[in-house]
Every structure is written in structure tokens, then in C-alpha cells.
């Protein structure tokens, strides 16, 4: 076996892979939140629907998306392998209570990761799978007067195989696109789904509170000057701002559904 294989089959190698895939997923969260904030636009889903179409039809983005899916699977698989290996190495629990200074999130990464994996399966099945492979979603037509900037929307009856069209007629831009926004609004009108979504975002928060900083330590990127910066980013951006941003979406849509 080569040194390369030996390295990545070792516990340290698996932790390195988890660190790299984890940081890649952190980058994705920033981009994904930025796009999903379009849900708060008062445009009847215009910006979000165009964004969703772009993500699923622009080849470079599609390649990155499949790398993302692979990273999720690898990250989850290696986490499971390391957890099982650690438990086998210490099959008997200590008689005394563990008085280490480890945080709750670091002690429960397995639980947090399991919640997140379940959430991803449900989330992707509800949105990504239905968008790519199901005919359950309808289509929306947006007509924008290029002189005034006013946009009007309506339902569009698309023929089989239709995905998106953009045209200009009489100084009016006409955009016809699959209506993922309606699916989002429908899902977020379900209280059980909203509660589960918020719980999952709490899991994201605690998972990243430990995971983001741990990834840098695993990679050996530790420095007296920069470690506090990494800690602040991990705490405020990934453990507070990003989870709150995602959690706000289902809550706001559910409240709107009650009106």
C-alpha cells in the first residue's frame, strides 16, 4: 500500500478528509443562504425561481453541486467510521463522570450530524428531487415592463419538457420558469415541517460551532494571531448568523400562511 493510501486510511487521514469536506460545505452554506434570501423579496418568487433555474441548468454550477453531494456523503461516512472506531477503542464507559472541558457540541457531533443528515435527505427530497425529476411543480410567467420596471406574474401552462424561456415582446420581458417558490411556500405552511427545520438549524449551529474551528486545528492552521479570528468567524457567522438566516425563512413563511 502506498504512503498516500496509508495516510488517508489512518484516523488522521480520515479527519483531514472530514476537515476539507466540512470547510467546502461551509462555503456552500454562505452561497446557499445568499440565494435563499431571495425568498424574502416581494416579487412573487421571481428572483428565487430564476435563481433555482440557474443553479440546475448552468453546467459549472451543476458540477459543483455534484461535488457538494459527494462531499456530504463522504463527510457523513467518515464521521460514522471515526465514531464507530472510537467507541470500539473504548467499549466500556468510564465509571467516573467525564470532567473534561470539552463543549457539549464537541461531545455530541454524532447526534448533531445524524439530525443534519436526516434533514438533508428530507430537504433534498422535497425540493431538489421534485425540481429535477418530478412533474409536480407548475410554471410561472413573469412579465416585466422594461419602461416602468413593473412586473406582473401569472400561472403558465407549459408543454412537456419545457424548462425556461426568456423573450421580449413590445418592450415587455417575458420570463417563464418552473415555480419552486410555490413548493417552498407550501412546505413552509406545514407547522411540523417548520419545527423540524428550526431544530435542524439549531443542530447546524452547534455542529459548526465546534466543527469549523476543529477543521482548522486538524489541518494544522493554528496561529496565535489568527486563531481568535477563526473562532469569531466560526461562532458569529457559522453558528449564529447563517443558522438564524435559514431558520427565519420557514418561520416567516409559516406566519404569512396564517394570514
- Per-residue pLDDT tens digits for 44-95: 999 999 999 988 887 887 888 888 888 888 888 877 777 777 676 665 554 4
Contact call for residues 246 and 36 (beta carbons, < 8 A): yes
Q: Which three cell numbers mark 147?
A: 419602461
User: What pLDDT is recorded for position 111?
Assistant: 78
Residues 6 or more apart whose Cβ sits within 8 Å of residue 113: 76, 79, 207
Final residue belonging to a domain, choices 178, 207, 227 = 178
Are residues 85 and 145 both part of a single domain? no
Domain extent, residue 69, equals 3-91+106-137+179-257
Residue 62 in any domain: the answer is yes
Residue 193 in any domain: the answer is yes
Q: What is the mean pLDDT of residues 121-142?
A: 89
Query: Which pTM was predicted?
Result: 0.83
Q: What's the structural domain count of the chain? A: 2
Distance from C-alpha of 25 to C-alpha of 79, rounded to nearest angstrom: 14
Are residues 127 and 14 both part of a single domain? yes
Residue 75 in any domain: the answer is yes
- CA 45 distance to own-chain centroid: 19
Residue 195 in any domain: the answer is yes
Residue 207 in any domain: the answer is yes
Are residues 10 and 69 both part of a single domain? yes
Residue 160 in any domain: the answer is yes
Residue 29 in any domain: the answer is yes
User: What pLDDT is recorded for position 92?
Assistant: 53
**Over 50: is that where the pLDDT of 6 sits?**
yes
Contact call for residues 233 and 212 (beta carbons, < 8 A): yes
Distance from C-alpha of 141 to C-alpha of 177, rounded to nearest angstrom: 7
User: What pLDDT is recorded for position 8?
Assistant: 55
Residues 6 or more apart whose Cβ sits within 8 Å of residue 245: 33, 36, 37
Amino acid at each position: 500500500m502506498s504512503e498516500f493510501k496509508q495516510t488517508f486510511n489512518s484516523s488522521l487521514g480520515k479527519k483531514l478528509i472530514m476537515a476539507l469536506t466540512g470547510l467546502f460545505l461551509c462555503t456552500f452554506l454562505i452561497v446557499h443562504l445568499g440565494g435563499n434570501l431571495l425568498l424574502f423579496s416581494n416579487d412573487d418568487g421571481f428572483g428565487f425561481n430564476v435563481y433555482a433555474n440557474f443553479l440546475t441548468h448552468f453546467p459549472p454550477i451543476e458540477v459543483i453541486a455534484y461535488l457538494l453531494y459527494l462531499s456530504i456523503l463522504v463527510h457523513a461516512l467518515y464521521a460514522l467510521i471515526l465514531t464507530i472506531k472510537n467507541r470500539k477503542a473504548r467499549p466500556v464507559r468510564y465509571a467516573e463522570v467525564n470532567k473534561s472541558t470539552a463543549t457539549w457540541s464537541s461531545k455530541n457531533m454524532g447526534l448533531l450530524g445524524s439530525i443534519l443528515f436526516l434533514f438533508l435527505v428530507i430537504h433534498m427530497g422535497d425540493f431538489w428531487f421534485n425540481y429535477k425529476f418530478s412533474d409536480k411543480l407548475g410554471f410561472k410567467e413573469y412579465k416585466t415592463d422594461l419602461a416602468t420596471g413593473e412586473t406582473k406574474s401569472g400561472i403558465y401552462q407549459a408543454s412537456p419538457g419545457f424548462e425556461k424561456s426568456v423573450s421580449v415582446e413590445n418592450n415587455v420581458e417575458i420570463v417563464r420558469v418552473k415555480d419552486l417558490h410555490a413548493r417552498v411556500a407550501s412546505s413552509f405552511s406545514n407547522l411540523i415541517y417548520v419545527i423540524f427545520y428550526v431544530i435542524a438549524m439549531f443542530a447546524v449551529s452547534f455542529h459548526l460551532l465546534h466543527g469549523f474551528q476543529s477543521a482548522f486545528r486538524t489541518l494544522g492552521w493554528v496561529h496565535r494571531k489568527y486563531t481568535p479570528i477563526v473562532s469569531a468567524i466560526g461562532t458569529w457567522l457559522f453558528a449564529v448568523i447563517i443558522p438564524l438566516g435559514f431558520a427565519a425563512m420557514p418561520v416567516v413563511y409559516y406566519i404569512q400562511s396564517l394570514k
